[in-house]
Structure 1
Amino acid sequence: MAEATYDPDNIFAKILRGEFPSHRVYEDDAVVAFMDAMPQGPGHTLVVPKAPSRNLLDADPATLGPLFTVVQKVALAIKRAFGADGVTILQFNEPASGQTVYHLHVHVIPRFEGIPLKPHSGGREKPEVLAASAEKIRAALDD
């Protein structure tokens, strides 16, 4: 099987370039965090490195430290912002794992006792709901 290559026209690359709208909650020189448009729960956020890579398997190791530093920062802010009991961190690699967007990304989802995640149905959340969630997370990042 031939090794797949990075597609610079994937949706996350377009979001990083500002060609597709997103509700950003965090950005630095290496990483951007924004609301998942098809969330599995309130506050579902994606953390994405700016460096192009399909997934964890082909990422430059130098990308991973800054990425996971921000994953932790965002997870702590999300837990505070939503009063969550915990946080689920998900990361998928290649189709067999469930990866559907081929730009390395990490899902950060607040979790609440007794409430299951919604299925990843492809249904888009209302922009005003995403904007309100993003604002809550940004405020918690400033705490």
Structure 2
Amino acid sequence: MVGSAACPFCAIVTGDDSIARVVYRGPEITAFFPLEPATQGHTLVVPNRHVSDLTDLTPAEIGDLGKAALRIARAIRVGLSPDGLNLIQSTGAAATQTVPHVHFHLVPRWSDDRMTLRWPTGAAEDDPAINQTLATIQSALLQETDAVSTEDRRQHLSFIQAVITRMSQASSSSKSWLLPIVTATYGYAVTGKSILVALLGCLAVLVFGLLDANYLKQERAFRRLYDEVAAGSPIPAFSMNPTLASPEGSGSNYWPDWPDVRSWAVAPVYGPLLLSGLGLVIWLACR
């Protein structure tokens, strides 16, 4: 395999080939004449990044190549007025690729030019084989995820971050609501010597603790989703289903898990409050 250091097209892209006839040089794409043009105006369009296989191009690079090829094709049509034009791309030695750097040929055509392109006569497969090939490609196509633009991915991440922020705010609110409830119930239990009120305070701690642990669980799930989307994992665009990024797979479980309960944001807060309430109940019962 030829690396970028030894690639003749990379030398043209970087300007190290002094004899190259460059048609266009941009931040992402370069176009130039080959050493031996097949026809007048024959132009190669290449990505500036060294990529040997067509399928290794990014969606952005494909878009840049398409726009550059269209722009140059229009310039060829205006400047040379050809009778037609071939757009040719070859990947792999079996497809006659000789330079392992993705490139597109723009070949202006005239009815009396020397260029020859001959398609073989007859079908390569019989009808059953063609149908099987069709099904195979369609099946593989369904497994491909739709290309997501950078802006779409950024917006998707923004939506997920909004949910994470909301879960964090809900967790903070649960603690804020619980403190006056605990103060009131425990305080009244002491002054009124009421075990029932103390038990109500303990129940409030349990309920708010479970809610807070569940908020933490959901926040963690959406943080995993955020990481997966940011990494470019095959998650449907704008999906807000955190189970897609869950190691356990699909399915929803709204009860907090043990790691959520014993986390620093839950156990150190609700544990002492619950123990204080239970201690208060025992103290009142022993009086």
Bigger helix share:
2
Q: Which amino acid aligns with 2:102?
A: L
Which of 93, 96, 108 is the aligned partner of 1:95? 93
Which of 15, 18, 35 is the aligned partner of 1:18? 15
Inter-partner Cα distance in structure 1 for 2:24 and 2:82: 19
Aligned residues: 115
Secondary structure of the residue that 1:74 maps to in structure 2?
helix
- Maintained 8 Å contact 1:41/1:118: no
Q: Which amino acid aligns with 1:69?
A: K
- Maintained 8 Å contact 1:33/1:48: yes
Deviation at 1:102, TM superposition (A): 0.6
User: Does 2:6 match 1:7?
Assistant: no
Which of 48, 68, 71 is the aligned partner of 1:70? 68
Inter-partner Cα distance in structure 1 for 2:35 and 2:91: 20
Secondary structure of the residue that 1:26 maps to in structure 2?
strand
Which aligned pairs between 1:21-36 and structure 2 lie closer than 5 A? Answer: 21=18, 22-36=20-34
> Deviation digits for residues 7-56 of structure 1, max 9, x if unmatched?
11211011111221311111221111111111111111011111221031
Secondary structure of the residue that 2:64 maps to in structure 1?
helix
Equivalent in the alignment of 1:108: 106
- Maintained 8 Å contact 1:32/1:48: yes
Inter-partner Cα distance in structure 1 for 2:41 and 2:34: 8
- Maintained 8 Å contact 2:21/2:32: yes
Quick check: which has more Rg, 1 or 2? 2
Inter-partner Cα distance in structure 1 for 2:77 and 2:115: 15
Equivalent in the alignment of 2:137: none
Bigger strand share:
1
> Deviation digits for residues 92-127 of structure 1, max 9, x if unmatched?
0010000000111100011112434169xxxxxxxx
Deviation at 1:88, TM superposition (A): 0.6
Which of 42, 46, 51 is the aligned partner of 2:49? 51
Inter-partner Cα distance in structure 2 for 1:59 and 1:7: 16
Which aligned pairs between 1:104-143 and structure 2 lie closer than 5 A? Answer: 104-117=102-115
Which stretch of structure 1 is more off in the superposition, 18-27 or 41-50?
A: 18-27
- Maintained 8 Å contact 1:40/1:118: no
Q: TM-score, length-normalised on structure 1?
A: 0.74
- Maintained 8 Å contact 2:86/2:107: yes
Q: Which amino acid aligns with 1:74?
A: I
Aligned-pair identity (%): 31
Q: TM-score, length-normalised on structure 2?
A: 0.38
Secondary structure of the residue that 1:14 maps to in structure 2?
helix
**Higher RCO, Cα 8 Å, sep 6+:** 1
Inter-partner Cα distance in structure 1 for 2:31 and 2:45: 4
Q: Which amino acid aligns with 1:11?
A: P
Over the aligned positions, Cα root-mean-square deviation in angstroms equals 1.8
Equivalent in the alignment of 1:84: 82
